[in-house]
Structures are given as C-alpha cells and as structure tokens.
C-alpha cells in the first residue's frame, strides 16, 4: 500500500526538508531588504558562536516584538477590557499576549545572515498578517475541543467531557474577541462560548451523584460507590475525596463503579468528594494550554464539591440487590443487546456466533480460586488454571499497580467459537509514584481445554454497546473488534511487546504526528508549512521506539472515546475494519491526547493484523483526521 498524501506536494516537501531543512538555507524566499523595509514583517536578529545560540537569541527578541505588536493593538486592548468587565474575568492581558507570542514562534521563518564558522547571525521573521491568524487557529482548536466534549458527554464519559469543556473555556478567555466566539452545539444552536461553556460545566456537575454501595473487604478499608450521571451509570469519571485527614490521589470511576480507600481502623462515617475538571497535571500535552494554564486564574466550580456522602452499613441482601441493579460494564452492554438477535446481520465467509455456556460452574469456580489467590497473595497456587501465555499475562497484571479486587459481580459468560469469555471482575490499580488510581474490568478468556489463555482490561460499556449495535455486522466481527481493542489497550498497560510485534504486518504503515513546538525539526517529514509534522516508521523502528518507551515508564493506561468503526474492502479482502478513536494516553512520566486510526485485517480472527496505524494530536488544518481515504 502507498500513502496518498497529494504525492507531488509530499515529494517536494520531503526533498525540501533534506536539502534545505534545519536552518541550512540562506533564505526562504524573501530578501533582507524586503523584510526590513517593506513594513510587512516583524523581525529580529541574533548572533552567537553556534547556530543554536544565534537562533535562540533571535527567537527571544522576536517573541518580545510579537508581544509588543499584539499588545499595542487598540482593538485588542479595548476588547480585552470590555470582556473582562462584562464577564468578570480576572485575566492579565500581558500573560494572554505572551501565550500567542510563544505559539507564533513555531511559524517564524528564518534567514541566515552569517553561517560561521566563527560567528553565526540569524534573522527570524514573520508576516504581520500571519500573527493575527493565530487567533483563528485557536478558535478552531476550541471548537474541536467542544465537539469532543459533547460526544464524550453523550457517552457519559464525564472525565473527558469536563476536561475538554474546561480547557476550551481557558482557551476562549485568550481570544482577541472572546465575547464574539460562537459555537454550533449538538442541538444545532449557535451559542456564545464564553457563556455556554461554564453553564455546561455547571450543568454536568449538577447531574452527578455518588452513593455508598458496600465494602469490598472485611476490614472496611475499601468502600464501593455507585456513581451516576443523569441517573445513569457514569462511563468514566475522575475525583478525589477527603477522608478526614487528607485529600486522596485522583481516583477513576468506571461504568458506574467508584472506590474509596480508607485508613485502617478509620471511624469515618462520611466523606467529601471533589470531581476533577481542570486536569492541571495534564495540560502539558498541549503547547497552547501549557502556556496559559499557569497564567490565568482558574474558576472554582462549587458544584464540583459533593459533601457528606455517607458510608453506612447495609444488609448483605441489600448489597447484593444493589450490585445487580447497578451492575454495568461490558457484561451488561452485551446482555442488554442480545447479539444473536440483532436484525439485518449480513453473513460473511467467516461466520462465528455467540452461544450460552451450558454449565458455567467450572469457569465460575476457576475465577473464584484466582480471586482468592490474589487476595491471599498466593499467586502460584493457581498455576494449573492457566496456559503458559495466560499465566505470564496474569503475573504481569498483578505486577501492574498492586491489583486489588473491588467486587465480585455476577459474571457474564459467553461461548464464542470454542473459547469462553468471562466478563468481568472490577479491580483497582495504583502506583507508588503516581497521583492517580485506575479501575479496570478484567476479562478472562478460557481455551477449549478449560485453561485461561488471556486476561484483558475490558472496554467501557458504551464502547462495547456501540460495537454491539452495528446491525449489519456479524457476531464474529463484533467480538473480534471488542477483543482486539481490549488486547491492544492491555498490551500497552502490561508492556507486552511480543504481542504488539505480532499484530503489525511486516509492511505496516505506521505514522505518528505532532504539533511542532520548536524551530528546528529533526528526522521529520513536514506535511504542512505551518506547524505540523508527521513521522513514518517501519515496523522494526516502531517496535524499537515502544521498547524504549516501556523501559522508561512505571505504568501506561489508555482510554478510548469518540470511537468510529467502518468496514472497507481492499482487493479481495472483505474483512478489513477501520477504527478511528480519540485516545488519551497516561503514563508515569508522559501523557498525550490525540486521534488514533487503525486498519485491521480480521481474516484470521484469532490473529488480527494491523496494516495501518496513524496517530495525530488533533485534526490537521489541511486534511482533518486520517481515514481510509488518506492511504
């Protein structure tokens, strides 16, 4: 396969990089006299004993010039004062302008005036008209964030919704005309962003509810919470809580289930909860946000505090009833939409179907033994229940974040082409140097001989439901995609390099993208003359890159939202599926958020093969998001 990028443009850009990249050109089209005398440019010069020193000095000086240019604008100053007065915004104008001058640096061209070897002189310059365009680029980013937030809210992924609404609110406050920024929301209403966004955040917080749902242990150190949004189980949510002594680390609720970890012998009868919405520890994933988050005063949403959540003992019968009524996750999603009875299923050559397990007791007994082994830390005692690969995954999972069992819900046990899937056991994972706890549903996969060959972290119920609802797909296609995404997510968490290497074709197209945050770009293909770059890797290069990443991280956790699934045909292959998903990547020393595109061949459903893997931080201003039409 070949990438269809607009081939002629790509060839020229590719050659331009290697012939003229990294500042080795003496000009980029404009002469020195034109830059200095035309009045169309902002410019600055720097000198030094190295090219880097000269370039750094030029950038520092032009940053100051850009600041002066924007701040001296009567329109900007008067609009800033009017908006702050009308909406009572506490914003420092100089701080706002500074965020734009920093952003614009990546778009500055350069002219090398003296190229050493003893002295280097570099001019950095930018057209005045280009400076003002950065306001429009930020508007595009805000609208994209709001779109992501609305989609996440509709899926009850409240962590993603609140984060993107709040970040959009921060960015809105830095616009040239914030009071005039409009957004067409999901109801097709044209709304003023500066008013609508804080109202949305307040509305969402007001629809959240926490209630006690029993203890997970006899010592009563781990309490379960039923967490709902608009009276429905929340898909995902982050929060902290005050246990009478201190605020906890950020804790994640998943599919209606949250936790409170209390101190031993604690006499706490109620807790105060604060819903996370600002995500200050994640703003570094975006250069614009990182530049403004520490400069703008943050709005404290009182509705984010939910005080006095009582921890009351309940009868065991009531707990069991509550568990049944509140049980969510992938198991519930599969049950609530019976896959076998979906209409209009189109059969393909590979047709595999679900069936109920005649006798579930052997699988229930096996999982109960495993849970007891985890609780007692006698992990080796259940070795005989696993295949070699299954036991390796089991031990990796236990090492991943001090696994602790939260609950023992009724399992959803399904037979799929000879293998049995048991969904699912909720577990808590935490890490010594992390400020975050995760809740994951663990899915067990039994082979025909009755041994466990795999364990995965289950997808959120809304994602599973979205796949299950595809009425024109076979049962097999649905199960393959669910299992594939769960294996993919789990392989990153457990650093299963062997599995990831096995699922990429030898000639896979692997692309990573990012928004450029420095002037000099190394080993990159520039796909846009402004501020995006895309790197293509061979399979060997990508796996090597992953290995280095795994070696430097204590943990990795992936979250998916805004998932889009489509089937495509290439040649004689009618089992190719395209997955486009918003991915949040968390780790102990790095985090990012962006869009992942995968094209997966499921002809052999037990060994899906990735032919294309493309990641980008946000929609490209030229072509938007990667899809099958890009390749």
Q: Could you report the per-residue pLDDT of 488-546, keeping only the tens digit for each?
A: 999 998 999 999 999 999 999 999 865 544 333 333 333 333 445 678 999 999 999 99
Q: Which domain holds residue 399?
A: 329-485
Contact call for residues 284 and 290 (beta carbons, < 8 A):
yes
Does 314 reside within a domain?
A: no
Residue 38 has pLDDT above 60, yes or no: yes
- 6 shares its domain with 34: no
Q: H/E/C letters for each residue in 304-359?
A: HEEEEEECCCCCHHHHHHHHHHHCCCHHHHHHHCCHHHCCCCCCCCCCCCEEECCC
Does 542 reside within a domain?
A: yes
- 471 shares its domain with 507: no
- 456 shares its domain with 509: no
Query: How many independent structural domains does the chain possess?
Result: 3
- 409 shares its domain with 534: no
- 630 shares its domain with 546: yes
String of DSSP letters for 246-298? -BPPEEEEETTEEEEE--TT----EEEEEE----GGGGGGSHHHHHHHTTSPP
Q: What is the CATH number of the domain that holds 420?
A: 3.10.450
Residue 328 has pLDDT above 50, yes or no: no
- 461 shares its domain with 574: no
CA distance 74 to 402: 58
Domain stops at, among 105, 133, 161: 133
- 555 shares its domain with 424: no
Cα angle value 284/290/294 (rounded, 5°): 120
Q: What is the CATH number of the domain that holds 606?
A: 3.10.450.50
Does 227 reside within a domain?
A: no
- 17 shares its domain with 45: no
Range from 255-264, 566-575, 592-601 carrying the lowest mean pLDDT: 566-575
Domain stops at, among 93, 115, 133: 133
- 622 shares its domain with 525: yes
* 52, HSE (Cβ side, Cα atoms, 13 Å): 3
Count of CB atoms situated within 10 Å of the CB of 72: 10
* 87, HSE (Cβ side, Cα atoms, 13 Å): 23
Tokens representing 161? 């919704």
pLDDT per position as a tens digit, 103-138: 556 668 889 999 988 899 999 998 887 777 777 778
Q: How does DSSP classify residue 162?
A: H
pLDDT per position as a tens digit, 441-451: 999 999 999 99
- 1 shares its domain with 110: no
Does 464 reside within a domain?
A: yes
Residue 343 has pLDDT above 80, yes or no: no
Q: How far is CA 225 from CA 228, 229, 325, in A?
A: 10, 13, 13
pLDDT per position as a tens digit, 84-105: 555 554 555 566 666 665 555 6
Does 490 reside within a domain?
A: no
Does 214 reside within a domain?
A: no
Residue 241 has pLDDT above 90, yes or no: yes
- 612 shares its domain with 531: yes
Domain stops at, among 485, 510, 528: 485
Question: Facing residues of 565 across strands?
Answer: 579
- 527 shares its domain with 468: no
Residue bearing the bigger pLDDT, 585 or 157: 157
């Amino acid at each position: 396969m070949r990438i269809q990028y607009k081939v002629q443009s790509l060839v020229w850009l590719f050659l331009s990089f290697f012939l003229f990249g990294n500042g080795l050109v003496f000009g980029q089209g404009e002469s020195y006299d034109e830059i200095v005398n035309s009045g169309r440019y902002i410019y600055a010069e720097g000198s030094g004993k190295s090219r880097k020193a000269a370039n750094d000095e030029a950038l520092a000086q032009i940053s100051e010039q850009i600041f002066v240019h924007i701040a001296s604008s009567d329109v900007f100053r008067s609009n800033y004062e009017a908006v702050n007065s009308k909406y009572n915004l506490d914003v420092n104008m100089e701080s706002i302008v500074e965020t734009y001058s920093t952003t614009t640096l990546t778009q500055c061209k350069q002219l090398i005036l003296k190229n050493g070897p003893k002295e280097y002189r570099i001019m950095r310059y930018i057209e005045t008209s280009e400076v003002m365009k950065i306001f429009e680029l930020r508007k595009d980013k805000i609208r994209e964030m709001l779109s992501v937030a609305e989609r996440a809210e509709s899926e009850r992924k409240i962590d993603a919704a609140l984060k993107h609404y709040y970040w959009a609110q921060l960015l809105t406050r830095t616009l040239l005309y914030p009071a005039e920024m409009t957004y067409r929301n999901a109801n097709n209403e044209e709304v003023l962003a500066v008013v609508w966004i804080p109202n949305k955040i307040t509305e969402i917080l007001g629809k959240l509810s926490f209630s006690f749902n029993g203890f997970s242990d006899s010592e009563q150190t781990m309490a379960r919470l039923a967490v709902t949004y608009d009276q429905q189980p929340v898909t995902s949510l982050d929060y902290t809580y005050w246990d009478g002594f201190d605020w906890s680390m950020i804790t994640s609720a998943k599919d209606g289930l949250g936790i409170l970890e209390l101190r031993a012998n604690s006499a706490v009868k109620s807790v105060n909860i604060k819903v996370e919405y600002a995500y200050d520890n994640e703003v570094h994933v975006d250069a614009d946000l990182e530049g403004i988050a520490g400069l703008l005063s943050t709005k404290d949403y009182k509705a984010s505090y939910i005080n006095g959540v009582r921890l009351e003992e309940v009868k065991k019968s009531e707990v069991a009833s509550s568990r049944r009524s509140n049980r969510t996750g992938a198991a519930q999603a599969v049950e609530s939409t019976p896959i076998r009875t979906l209409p209009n299923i189109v059969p393909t050559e590979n047709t595999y179907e679900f069936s109920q397990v005649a006798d579930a007791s052997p699988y229930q007994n096996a999982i109960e033994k495993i849970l007891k082994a985890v609780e007692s830390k006698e992990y080796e005692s259940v070795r005989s229940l696993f295949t070699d690969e299954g036991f390796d995954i089991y031990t990796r999972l236990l090492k991943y974040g001090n696994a602790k069992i939260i609950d023992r819900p009724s399992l959803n046990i399904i037979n799929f082409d000879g293998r049995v899937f048991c969904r699912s056991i909720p577990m808590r994972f935490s890490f010594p140097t992390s400020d975050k706890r995760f809740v994951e549903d663990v899915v067990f996969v039994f082979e025909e001989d009755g041994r466990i060959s795999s364990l995965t972290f289950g997808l959120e119920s809304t994602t599973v439901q979205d796949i299950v609802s595809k009425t024109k797909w076979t049962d097999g296609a649905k199960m393959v995609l669910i299992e594939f995404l769960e294996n993919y997510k789990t392989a990153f968490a457990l650093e299963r390099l062997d599995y990831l290497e096995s699922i990429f074709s030898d000639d896979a197209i692997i692309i990573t993208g990012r928004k450029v945050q420095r002037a000099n770009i190394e080993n990159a293909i520039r796909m846009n003359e402004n501020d995006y770059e895309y790197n293509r890797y061979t399979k060997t290069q990508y796996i090597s890159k992953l290995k280095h990443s795994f070696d430097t991280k204590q943990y990795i956790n992936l979250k998916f939202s805004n998932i889009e699934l489509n089937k495509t045909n290439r040649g004689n292959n009618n089992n190719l599926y395209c997955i486009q998903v918003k991915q949040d990547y968390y780790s102990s020393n790095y985090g990012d958020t962006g869009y992942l595109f995968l094209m997966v061949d499921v002809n052999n459903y037990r060994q899906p093969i990735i032919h294309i893997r493309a990641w980008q931080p946000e929609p490209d201003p030229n072509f938007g998001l990667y899809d099958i039409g890009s390749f």
